[in-house]
Structures are given as structure tokens and as C-alpha cells.
Amino acid sequence: MSNTIIIVGGVAGGASAAAKARRTDENANITIFEKGPYVSFANCGLPYYVGDTIQDRDDLLLQTPERFWKRFRVQVHVLHEVIRINRTTKCVEVKNVLSQAISTHPYDKLILAPGAGAIVPNIPGIHAKNIFTVKTVPDSDAIRSFLLEHSLQRAIVIGGGFIGLETAEALHSRGLKVTIVEKAPQILPPFDPDMARLIAGHVIEKGIDVIVGDGISGFRQQGELAQEIELESGRRIPMDLAILSIGVRPELRLAQEAGLVIGTSGGIQVNERQQTSDPDIYAAGDAVETIHLVTGTRTRIPLAGPANKQGRVAGANAAGSHLQFHGALGTAIVECMGITAAKTGLTEREAALHGLKHFVSLTHPLDHAGYYPGAEALHMKLVVEEKTGRLLGAQIVGEQGVDKRIDILATALHGKMKVQDLEELDLAYAPQFNSAKSPVIMAGFVAANTLRGEVHTITSDELQKKLESNSSLQLLDVRTHEEYQEAHVPHAHLLPLDELRDHLNDLDPTQETVVYCRVGLRGYLAARILLQHGFSHVSNLTGGFLSYIPHN
């Protein structure tokens, strides 16, 4: 007797589950019910469709019901919403979205891939005709139609996360004056503030306005259209179009009403086989919990990569296999206005929240050999466990080469590597691709030097606190005279590295000393000189002056 598998939802998790279930069991009866009009589409590509980088909407449609049947013999019913699960009779009730007719379908195994819906706050004016979300193909169709039908000048993007930044760039490319409004104190809230400010500075320089630390309280309408956005601060900004990119909320109603366990992070609880608390029901995608591979804690990571892998495991096991999904790192990347930001594992802030004793290491290497034309700086931050040197996380910002480096570091994290292991990596080198000392290897060198005690490092924030509380701090700028004149840390004494040995007698070796240069290398060399000449307490500013953030 053939196995009947019903899948609730398509896109990444559901479509992957269906395809893997078929590859596992050629005789299973597999059906997908998708409440939207498309079973599988590239939702990560939607901002680029809005911006006309992707011009043909069919390029976004990864699978159609017809192709699913032809290749996989999977029955797909779009515009059909599963409204109830009866675990006792092992049936689902399905509503035809168009006719409202209700039908009942039995299952042997059920896979839930309901995804997550865009958060739409209940505030005045939210239903104006020129306010949109970017979550589905119809959402993007509506935005493109509005852009074509109206003469627009000013757009507001509410939310400065990944989709918000991509949408802001898309609208800017279409000639609109764009303002990003983010309630958090920074854009890209998943990043540490020092890395997010690099993105913000670049985006502002390229012509997009950024407002942080201010939420929205409502929209002021004239007729069907909103004319102004009003912020919680009382500030009003005129607008012709607004995009909501506040975040997503997991679709949990079906699971909750069926009595499935919802985890502490707010997602459907599953085991490593993607089984829910009911062994005949599996779940995958944005609505489920997963294990964070660094902390071992349960969390939600609503990203396409984990959703596809979870769907694959759920589909295989529903069809009789024994695959496992052990967790994710939250590796993510975004580009806006020519600058790229990527992260994997824990940020400095997250490491602190989890009680992990750690230090950070900042480097600013070029993405390829400096003597080869076109080299650009990468801004790299490693979060490292004290004593062990275990890599906990990484963030990178730069104009090119970010993707390659974050993937190397994500692989290192997955393998539970230490920064000492990064020193020994054997990575491809040719001048147009890399440096002989690759940026990842260089980051490993710097972090491992700190771990071994060759140099003590200090962060910008720690330096600020010392300057505020310690008037006797010996602060040395070891850059050139020209660099110092251009800008320097307040109260710093200029002593260029190449002149340092000649002026050791002018310094107090018993005094606490902090050295810094532009990116950290000359500071490291200065610290080593001082330590070997009897200076007892020397620290190097990690990342150098490029990482210095003065307190307001």
C-alpha cells in the first residue's frame, strides 16, 4: 500500500520536501497544498524584480504545478489553504481560496511548511493603497504596477534589515529619493554596531537617507493614498510610496490548533529528523525551531538555506528514510549600493548574551594583492572564545570578496575550528584573487597572536572608557605625521613607529600604554617593541584607527 504524503506550503521548505520525498519513494502519493498562487518562487529575488534587475517575472518561478507533475509526479494545488489538521483521523481540511469549497484529505505522513508572514503593524493609515510589503510575487507585481502607473519621487522603506536594504537600493535605482526608517539604534540589527555603521555610512554617501532609533506611529492619508509618514518622535516625512520590511512572523496557527509543541523560541519544535511532537507530522522552513550550531540552543533562523535543507530532510524521512538536520549558523549576506555585509555564527553582542567569555579581533586587509589593480579593503571581525581560541562568529563588510571569505569562515565554524587552525589554511592565491596571506589567514594570525598572549588588544569602546576614567593613560599614535594631522584619537601622543626605538626614554615603562595605527599592524609591531623593552602593560587598539568609534 503506497504512502500518502501531504505537504502544507511550497516555496523553499515544501517544494524541497516534495522533490526529496519523490526521490526517496517512487510509489508514494505526494500532494502539495499552497494557499498562494505560486508553489515555488525565489522570494529572495523579489527586491531585484522590483528594481528591474530581474525583468522577467517567470525567472522567479522555480517550479510550476505542471512541471512538478511532469518531473516528480507530485500533485500541486495552488490557491488551496489547509485550514485544519485532525490528528486522530489523520486528515486535513482544505479550503479552495477561489470557490471557498471545503474538502477533506487523508494522510499517512504530513509535512508542515507554512513559512512566515510579513509583519504589518496595526497603525493609522496602514491600509493605504501606496503601502506595500515585499514577501510574495503578487506583492512585487503590485509595487511594479504602482510604479508604472504613478509619477513618484519619494519612497520610505520601513525596516533596515536585509530585505529593507535591498528594496531601498531597488527603489533608488528607479530614480526615487529613498529614506530608510529603522526603529533599532542601527540598520542591520543582526550585526554588531561597529560593523553596521560601515554600511550606514556608505549607503548615506550614495544618496539614501537613514533614520535610526525611531519607529513609525502612523500614516497620514488623503483619499486612498498616504501622503506622510509620522514617526514615534513626532517627525513627519512626505512620501509617495512606502514599503514595510519590519520582519516576519512564523505561521503557527495550524500547528497550535493541532496541539503540536511550540518551542521556547516561538517556532514549531522539531527533532533532528524534522519530526514534530507528533511522529507522523514533520515541519520545515521559517516556522520551525532549529539548533544554533555554536550555542546548541534552540532558535529560529528564517533563511532560505536552512529551509531548503530542513525540507529535504523532512521529505526524505516522511518517505521512509533516516536523514538528519543538525542545525544552522545563521550565515547571511546582503549588498546595498555597492557594499556588502555578511555574518556567520555569533556577533559580539550575542556571545555576551550567551555568557561566552570571548574577545574580538578586527582586521582591514585588502581583498587581493595590493600591487594588483582594483584591490579594496575588507573590514573583518572575528569573535573568539577566550582560552580555547574557538571561533564563535565572524562579520565582514567590503565592496568585493566578502562572499568568499564569509563562506570560508562559516565552514570553519561548522567544523568547530579554532583561530589557530585559520593560520594553517591552504587557500588559493593569485594576485587578482587573493593575497599570499589571505584575509582569512591574516585574521587568524591576528586573533591567534592575541590568544597566545603575544599582544594584548583593546577595543574602541574599551579605549573610550579608559580615556574617560584614567587621565594617566599613555596613548601613542604610531602612524605618520600626515596621518596624525588628518585625524587622531583625542589626547594621543604622536610617535611614528619608525622613530619609536629612538624615543623609548621619553616614555614611562610603568605606565599603562595603548598604541594604535591605521589598521592594527603597526600598532602590533609597536606593542612588541615596547613589551621587549620592559613596558609592563601595553595594549594595541584592535582594528586600529579605522575601527575607532568616538563616544557622542
What is the end-to-end Cα distance of the chain in Å, rounded?
71
**H runs (alpha helix) in 354-396:** none
244 three-state secondary structure: strand
Are 7 and 301 contacting, i.e. CB atoms less than 8 angstroms apart? no
Q: What are phi and psi of 286, to 5 degrees?
A: -65, -15
Q: What are phi and psi of 303, to 5 degrees?
A: -130, 155
CB count within 10 Å of CB 210 equals 20
Spell out the long-range contacts of 174-180 with Cβ–Cβ below 8 A and sequence spacing 24 or more: 174/51, 174/52, 174/147, 176/152, 176/240, 176/241, 177/153, 177/209, 178/154, 178/208, 178/209, 179/154, 179/155, 179/208, 179/209, 179/210, 179/211, 179/237, 180/208, 180/209, 180/210, 180/211
Starting at the earlier edge strand, list the strands of the sheet with 456-458: 456-458, 538-541, 513-516, 474-477, 493-494
Question: Which among 230, 336, 399, 315 is positioned nearest to 3, based on CA atoms?
Answer: 315
Q: Is 180 left (phi over 0), alpha (psi -120 to 50) or beta?
A: beta
Sign of CA dihedral 361, 364, 369, 371: negative
Concatenating the DSSP letter of every residue in 260-307 gives: PPB-TTSSB---TT-B-SSTTEEE-STTB-EEBTTT--EE----HHHH
CA atoms within 13 A on the CB side of 440: 27
Rounded to an integer, what distance in angstroms lies between the CA atom of residue 118 and that of residue 163? Answer: 11
Question: Which among 355, 349, 362 is positioned nearest to 460, based on CA atoms?
Answer: 362
Q: Is 510 exposed, middle or buried (0-12, 13-18, 19+ CB in 10 A)?
A: exposed
Question: Which among 178, 180, 142, 143 is positioned nearest to 161, based on CA atoms?
Answer: 180
Question: Which residues are identified as catalytic?
Answer: 44
